[in-house]
Structure 1
């Protein structure tokens, strides 16, 4: 396991809300971070779509991991926005984030939220962008 992945795994496992939702850390590199969630009934809203709050959590956390890696350590989200582009349907949601620009005080990051259906096909369901700053 790489040093970056080991650090990310330690941070990820220390998040109580992440454990509550059942999210998993996917691939983490020096340029990207991936978080995924196997969808269960308790992740859905009244129309059967993955709840926007669940998608928002995935985006926020993936953005912060990507930004923290770019900044070289622990980080916090300063702000982010999310655009829901279609209903989130499927058996899994993956948040794939990367830092688009990073300096000493902030990293601007982008995240795609992808739904995976029963056939393994991917479909974009939301896009997010955020600013991440060093913690502390």
Structure 2
């Protein structure tokens, strides 16, 4: 396990220009888990008013890598991931909850469940993702 803190994870996220553009924030980080949130706003939606699938996919990708970073260290890259959209994402906040399923010396397998929360805080599953995150440490 690494000794990265929630504060350090927030600094890393803040250094990503695209994350700033969508307004992402990390609310939990440590022990193989990470939670990333994005407030739903009109400019992040598609033509039918739902949160754009690219934003949902972005949240899954970043949550997967941050969760893996808790076990592999801060130098990680997404090796690949798949996402299944369960239902259209609508609500107030997108919540991506990622957990490491397995960590080896150089890679981690991570699962992410994505929910939208409405104004009352009720959460609805909108997508699930699983991916492989690779350590970018020099060998």
State the TM bucket, normalised to the shorter chain: over 0.9
**Corresponding position of 1:18:** 19
Q: Unpaired runs of 5+ in structure 2?
A: none
Alpha-carbon separation, structure 2, partners of 1:3 and 1:52: 30
**Corresponding position of 2:28:** 27
Q: Unpaired runs of 5+ in structure 1?
A: none
Alpha-carbon separation, structure 2, partners of 1:119 and 1:9: 26
5 Å matches for 1:32-51? 32-51=33-52
Alpha-carbon separation, structure 2, partners of 1:21 and 1:69: 23
Alpha-carbon separation, structure 1, partners of 2:4 and 2:79: 25
CA contact (8 A) 1:93 1:116 kept: yes
> In angstroms, what is the RMSD of aligned CA positions?
1.2
5 Å matches for 1:105-120? 105-120=106-121
TM (norm. structure 2) is 0.93
SS in 2 for 1:94: strand
Deviation at 1:3, TM superposition (A): 4.2
Count of paired positions: 135
Alpha-carbon separation, structure 2, partners of 1:80 and 1:88: 19
